Structure 1
Amino acid sequence: MGLKRGFTYQSTSSRSKPGFFKSLPAMRTRKIFGISLSLILINFAAIMERADENLLPSVYKEVSEAFNAGPSDLGYLTFIRNFVQGMASPLAGVLVINYDRPTVLAMGTFCWALSTAAVGASRLFAQVAFWRAVNGFGLAIVIPALQSFIADSYKDGVRGAGFGMVSLVGSLGGIGGGVLATLMAGEQYWNVPGWRCAFILMASLSSLIGFLVLLFVVDPRKTVNFTHGTDHSSDREDLIIKGPTSAASVWLESWTAMKAVVKVQTFQIIVLQGIVGSLPWTAMVFFTMWFELIGFDHNSTAALLSLFAVGCAMGSLLGGLIADRMSRIYPHSGRIMCAQFSAFMGIPFSWFLLKVIPQSVSSYYTFAVTLLLMGLTISWNATAANGPMFAEVVPVKHRTMIYAFDRAFEGSFSSFAAPLVGILSEKMFGYDAKSVDPIKGSTREAFALSQGLLTMMAVPFGLCCLFYTPLYLFFRKDRENARMASVKEEEMR
């Protein structure tokens, strides 16, 4: 719902009165059934991004067997990708200053598609690690540009729903990618292991979406400018994407944006909670392996993880909608309360899932209900608070940079979660990869892995809830400062 809300598209050559610039090229986004084609393709890009993220974790067991790798080795693959993604994320902010976002999104998509195909063709574990790093570089370019695209496409009052919608469809892509890889993993196609075929298929689809984005997506800054929910057509000259300029001017503008972003206290607080709050989500890449160790087959594991993904997808949209409503009742604290509720719910659900439910195939339905409800309640933070609040505490021109720096800090630190789960499982709780039966799994190793998962989920969820608290003091002030800065910039032009 709400895909069209907040949009006012006009052909720049269709009017002559003030507010419509005849000197600008006509930029009208196409529509399909009344919905912007640009938004449709951006949502498809989000689908493929999430599908790509879920691909490798869904075949951890097969990759472990193919390369004789244990949980810590598999954790390092996730670490490498996430660390490179975090460190390279500021590059997205630099690129968006000089190029329009559809070009940047297409560049990143082609990069991750190439690396995904290369992982499927790798013969050595070191090759897989290298291409996972390249994959992280591609995602580093795509994700901040995609987030700022959504932020510019919706007004303040419905921005939570906008982020929720893209998260919903992205989660559907994650479901599709995970299910596809899990089901294909146990088969062979033309004497090629199914998990390798899944990677090559996903790379082909990603390349197609990247090509369509490059051809048909129109940057919102070429059609309309939203400054905190209000159309300011007079701002548009400043926001039209420019052609390549000198390297010195690009880096100077980038440095100015970086300094402006990191000084915002709301940004600092959200990044702090995100560093610990993203640890559980990174650790969850081991869920597929954990269920298969318990003894579930590929189909049952895919079904369980699909339920969790459906819960997260619905929860992200639900959280965005509830936070939009709460922000109207409590403008300065509604989104923060929603985020704290969601983070807190991660504690009891992690404990119940990993500690209370008997780890056997007979607990299938208990696992299913728990995962669905868990997904519904713990997935609100990004859509209810983080994404919408970032858009309100910096000027419009700095939005990509703030999302890029958020990814840089969160991605870099959260990347340690996956190898830590593996290390804890092996060194502290006694996981032994050699004891795992390829068909039946291993109850003992499943329990060891669950202990490592619980450590990296319950505690970070609690800290995440706590770290949101200072926003009650600083969010209002930062939002007013951003509005004042936008007014001053408008007066100076």
Structure 2
Amino acid sequence: MRTRRVFGISLSLIIINMAAIMERADENLLPAVYKEVSETFKAGPSDLRYLTFIRNFVQGIASPVAGILVINYDRPTVLAIGILFWSLSTGAVGASNYFMQVGFWRAVNGFGLAIVIPALQSFIADSYMDESRGTGFGFLSLVGTVGGIGGGAIATVMAGYKFWGIPGWRFAFVMMATFSIFIAFFVFTFVVDPRKRANIEHDNTKNSNDREGLIEKGNTNSMSIWMESWTAMKAVMKVKTFQFIVLQGLVGSLPWTAMVFFTLWFELIGFDHNSAAALVSLFAAGCAIGSFFGGVVADRISHRYPHSGRIMCAQFSAFMGIPFSWFLLCIIPQSVSSYYTFAVTLFLMGLTISWNSTASNGPMFAEVVPSKHRTMIYAFDRAFEVSFSSFAAPVVGILAEKLYG
């Protein structure tokens, strides 16, 4: 089945990237209005931490569901289901009257994201060849981060107003839910799964055979598709590449989860809504450009150093987080007069610390498993990393409230 093209670009990829934009915008809504949510529900940092924790924890433990669903259904259907889950739960958060209701709908939101994100990643992996996959993941991250910038900034600015008597932060959630429902319809109606394109073959025979060799063979006539996937997952988990990437991700994802408090931190320093939104948007812009640049650089370096190029890029990016975090949190005076210092530091920090996923993790996962098991391996990676990193937000909330006041 051939996908439609618009100005020479696959319509499926256009819509998939639109879905990534909405997904990241949805993720950034709540952190952008923590202050308003705190005032509405009389919740402190120790309460707000649970909203991030419950969404991330449910997202982590539910991620393998995406791998199971993709075995039995095509990815556009799975993506549409996940988008509907997150859109309905986002609208429900905006309509909630009690803090416990917000917590419940954040859990539902996490379930929707658990289905969508691994399916998006495997869709991109199947849409690009090995030598350009970093660029593909980089562009997905770029447009997704643009969505995050837009979602966070718009929500922060809207929070200071009322629309037809509705508080701005609530209206932002309802508006996001409405747009997401349209995206779900477009995905279900127009997106074509790359696996259905019989005339397109991205993996050459040798690479395909190498990947199939990672999976234990069995009698496919007697094995159910579920048992086949379980066998494949056990085999993949023995691959050292998978083990080390997940181990790195367990540690590396902790500070990224803690960064959801950036907006609240800047507002507590004394910045107004617009200034706080601008600072967080600059950091996100740096991450957007950096993730795309990192993917492109890794593709080029991996041509020259096929066995170590992507790893070198990941190590550089991870290391750069140390000096920038130290300077941001310990050196810059926490005052509104330090606005431009914060702005430059956040942009450069985002530009250099955001390479890992696009330069190494995403492309390398696609290279160590056959195409049919890619959603499963991305799902299990999310399961390990997101579940573990979900504890970062509660820790940050406790430290902020108990130690620093």
Alignment partners' CA distance in 1, 2:204 and 2:400: 48
Aligned partner of 2:88 in structure 1 is 114
Change (3 A) 1:232 1:420: closer
Matches within 5 A, 1:24-43: 27-43=1-17
- Displacement of 1:285 after TM fit? 0.2
Q: Is 1:164 equivalent to 2:160 in the alignment?
A: no
Give SS of 2:307's match: coil
- Bigger mean CA deviation after superposition, 141-150 or 187-196: 187-196
Please list every run of at least 4 consecutive aligned residues from structure 1 whose deviation after the TM superposition is greater than 4 angstroms: 224-227, 229-234
- Bigger mean CA deviation after superposition, 264-273 or 44-53: 264-273
C-alpha contact (below 8 Å) 1:261/1:398 kept by paired residues: no
Aligned partner of 1:366 in structure 2 is 341
- Displacement of 1:252 after TM fit? 1.9
C-alpha contact (below 8 Å) 2:138/2:358 kept by paired residues: yes
Give SS of 2:315's match: helix
Alignment partners' CA distance in 1, 2:46 and 2:321: 24
- Displacement of 1:227 after TM fit? 5.6
Alignment partners' CA distance in 1, 2:208 and 2:103: 47
Q: Which of 312, 328, 336 is equivalent to 1:353? A: 328
C-alpha contact (below 8 Å) 1:151/1:159 kept by paired residues: yes
Alignment partners' CA distance in 1, 2:143 and 2:202: 26
C-alpha contact (below 8 Å) 1:71/1:423 kept by paired residues: yes
Q: Is 1:302 equivalent to 2:277 in the alignment?
A: yes
**AA at the equivalent of 1:162:** G
Give SS of 2:334's match: coil
Aligned partner of 1:394 in structure 2 is 369
Aligned partner of 1:268 in structure 2 is 243
Aligned partner of 1:435 in structure 2 is none
Aligned partner of 2:293 in structure 1 is 318
Aligned partner of 1:179 in structure 2 is 153
Alignment partners' CA distance in 2, 1:348 and 1:72: 28
Alignment partners' CA distance in 1, 2:50 and 2:302: 40
Alignment partners' CA distance in 1, 2:245 and 2:237: 11
Aligned partner of 2:252 in structure 1 is 277
Give SS of 1:29's match: coil
Alignment partners' CA distance in 2, 1:374 and 1:232: 36
Aligned partner of 1:421 in structure 2 is 396
Alignment partners' CA distance in 1, 2:363 and 2:91: 34
Q: Is 1:293 equivalent to 2:271 in the alignment?
A: no
Aligned partner of 1:258 in structure 2 is 233
Aligned partner of 2:127 in structure 1 is 153
Aligned partner of 1:441 in structure 2 is none
Q: Which of 149, 152, 165 is equivalent to 1:191? A: 165
Give SS of 1:278's match: helix
**AA at the equivalent of 1:184:** M
Give SS of 1:290's match: helix
C-alpha contact (below 8 Å) 1:154/1:229 kept by paired residues: no
**AA at the equivalent of 1:356:** I
- Displacement of 1:160 after TM fit? 0.3
**AA at the equivalent of 1:88:** A
Larger relative contact order, structure 1 or 2 (CA cutoff 8 Å, min sep 6): 2
Give SS of 1:323's match: helix
Q: Is 1:404 equivalent to 2:356 in the alignment?
A: no
**AA at the equivalent of 2:6:** I
C-alpha contact (below 8 Å) 1:149/1:219 kept by paired residues: yes
Corresponding residue pairs, total? 392
Aligned partner of 1:93 in structure 2 is 67
Gaps of 5+ in 2: 210-222
- Displacement of 1:206 after TM fit? 0.6
Alignment partners' CA distance in 2, 1:343 and 1:337: 10
- Displacement of 1:261 after TM fit? 2.5
**AA at the equivalent of 2:10:** S
Task: Give the fraction of aligned pairs with identical amino acids, expressed as a percent.
Answer: 77
Change (3 A) 1:150 1:355: same
Q: Is 1:332 equivalent to 2:307 in the alignment?
A: yes
C-alpha contact (below 8 Å) 1:181/1:195 kept by paired residues: yes
Please give the TM-score of this superposition, normalised by the length of structure 2.
Answer: 0.94
1:371-414 per-position Cα deviation (integer Å, ceiling 9, x unaligned)? 11001000000000000000011111111110000000001000
Give SS of 2:2's match: coil
Q: Which of 15, 18, 26 is equivalent to 1:44? A: 18
Change (3 A) 1:359 1:28: same
1:256-292 per-position Cα deviation (integer Å, ceiling 9, x unaligned)? 2322222222111111110110111100000000000
